[in-house]
Structure 1
Amino acid sequence: MATTRDENQSLYQAYLEACNAHDVDRMASFYAPTIKVNDVPMDPVSTAAQFPVLFAAFPDWHWEMRNLLIDGDYVAVHFTVTGTHRGAFNAIEATGRRVSSAEITLYHVEGGKFSEVWDFGGMEAVESQIREAEAP
């Protein structure tokens, strides 16, 4: 018999597969009808709509799970993101620079969907790495 821990681990691994496939529609299917992202209520489509801009700037964007912790209906993930800056990102034209950053995300699962998500770190480091490529 599957435990909540096993179910939440499977849920996250399936979500990670959708993320790494850049399958935005599938990603949205993992979100509750109202999901809070860093305490801001959003609908699944709006939440997933944040990713195409990232994927356009970094077509090879990839999340690699380093650690996964599950406590009841909470899932914490420590991962590394990598990508190559091939398109405009935050008004910075493509640099061709390879970026890498560590991140931690905490998810709250309700009814088999992510109902709350908190992201910690990462994107500032990515932007810093591509800005370094701009410097003379």
Structure 2
Amino acid sequence: MQRSGIRDSEVWSQGDAEAAERYIAPKYKIFHDPGDPWEGRELDLTAYKARVRTLRAAFPDQHFDIQRLFADGDAVVVTWLWSATHQGELPGFAATQKRIFMSGATAYFFEGDRLAGHWQITDRLGVYQQLQAAKSAA
């Protein structure tokens, strides 16, 4: 299970949306992820891959640095640090070319050996503040 949580971070870091077919369940639920337009939705594999591509279009060099992993039953919690250069459009923000940083924690839920959903807390406000500062400086 822990390896699947790490692989999800690697897909996001490397942008290999097609790799999701190897470890994402046919239905993936985003239970809690405030500020994420997909929050509360159940995604099939096509929608999951589209989500990866959409977010990587704004931040193509994004990288997750995993800090800690905790396993409990059918869940793995990952704490992480994220960094990326804002190179593509994000709603409300044209590309700023600014390096952005964020921290967060994600609880991944499993069905067998496949990821079936997550519950996530991130510092999205901090990201928007960094983007706004870059926008104001331009």
TM-score (norm 2): 0.84
Q: 1:18 touches 1:27 (CA, 8 Å); kept in 2?
A: yes
The reply on whether 1:18 has 2:18 as its aligned counterpart is no
The reply on whether 1:131 has 2:124 as its aligned counterpart is no
The runs of 4+ residues in structure 1 deviating greater than 3 Å are none
Q: Name the aligned partner's letter for residue 34 of structure 1.
A: K
CA offsets per residue over residues 78-110 of structure 1, 9 Å max, x none? 101100111211231111111100011111111
Q: Equivalent residue for 1:107?
A: 108
Q: 2:69 touches 2:77 (CA, 8 Å); kept in 1?
A: yes
Extract unaligned runs of 5+ from structure 2: 32-39
Q: 1:19 touches 1:27 (CA, 8 Å); kept in 2?
A: no
CA distance in 1, matches of 2:119, 2:97: 29
Map 1:49-60 to 2 at 5 A.
Answer: 49-60=50-61
Q: Name the aligned partner's letter for residue 72 of structure 2.
A: D
Deviation at 1:19? 2.3
Q: 1:28 touches 1:47 (CA, 8 Å); kept in 2?
A: no
Q: Give the greater-gyration-radius structure (CA).
A: 1
Deviation at 1:77? 0.7
Aligned length: 129
CA distance in 1, matches of 2:23, 2:110: 10
CA distance in 1, matches of 2:95, 2:10: 26
The reply on whether 1:76 has 2:91 as its aligned counterpart is no
Deviation at 1:125? 2.2
Q: 1:95 touches 1:134 (CA, 8 Å); kept in 2?
A: yes
Q: Name the aligned partner's letter for residue 97 of structure 2.
A: G
Map 1:35-46 to 2 at 5 A.
Answer: 35-38=28-31, 39-46=40-47
CA offsets per residue over residues 36-58 of structure 1, 9 Å max, x none? 11243221221221121221211
Check 1:118–1:48 CA distance in 2 against 1; reply closer, same or farther (3 A cut): farther
3-state SS of paired residue (1:107)? strand
Q: 1:104 touches 1:119 (CA, 8 Å); kept in 2?
A: yes
Q: Equivalent residue for 2:118?
A: 117
3-state SS of paired residue (2:26)? strand
Q: Equivalent residue for 1:32?
A: 25
CA distance in 1, matches of 2:71, 2:18: 25
